[in-house]
Homo-oligomer: A and B are copies of this chain.
Amino acid sequence: QAVSAYKKRPEPCKRLVLYYHVLFDGTNEANATSAIVSNITKLGDFNFGQFVVFDDPMTDDHHLLSPPVARAQGFYFYNMKTTYNAGFAYKLIFNSSDYKGTLNLMGADIIAQEARDISVVGGTGDFFMARGICTLRTDTFQGNAYFRLQMDIKLYECY
């Protein structure tokens, strides 16, 4: 018998909608915020096995050059043989007048889905012991040069 996914889903105790900007290590190293650290393997045609480490600005609107409200630091890696699909593991690091602290996230970025959920597995500082869900949506994709994700962060456990 299937579980009904959302029957008891509560309201978030906190919500933040941020934008994640990835600039690749290509022709412009001075601006790049991400770098490939492992080679693609021979399994399939979708970058299987490639790890990318990032130190990306997070803004509260669509603009890359808006003042960052946090940084996203961590990695993603491709782990599906038959299509593009990534695993994410990263921290959001806040150090502003609004928030100081971190959120720790991991989960599956199933790129073919319009909205894909990953887990907020912990937090520190202003996000002490937080848990929740972060919904990823592709906001723009400009190939190997630049892509931007919306991260809709909903915390359901707050202290």
Contact = CB atoms under 8 A, between A and B. Distances in A.
Contact of A101 (B1, B5, B81): B5
Contact of A124 (B38, B97, B133): B133
A124 B131 CA distance: 12
B42 A25 contact: yes
B117 A120 contact: no
Interface size classification for chain A:
35 or more
Interface in A61-82: 71, 73-75, 77-82
Contacts of A153: none
B128 A124 contact: no
Interface in A85-138: 85, 87, 89-91, 93, 97-102, 104, 106-108, 110, 117-129, 131-133
Interface of A: 1-6, 8-10, 14, 25, 29, 32-39, 41-43, 48-49, 51, 53-55, 71, 73-75, 77-82, 85, 87, 89-91, 93, 97-102, 104, 106-108, 110, 117-129, 131-133, 156-159
The 7 closest A-B pairs by CB, nearest first: A119-B122, A117-B124, A35-B41, A91-B108, A37-B49, A73-B79, A3-B126
Given A5-B100, A121-B122, 13 more contacts: A1-B98, A3-B127, A5-B125, A10-B159, A25-B42, A48-B53, A73-B85, A73-B108, A104-B107, A106-B122, A119-B123, A129-B131, A129-B133
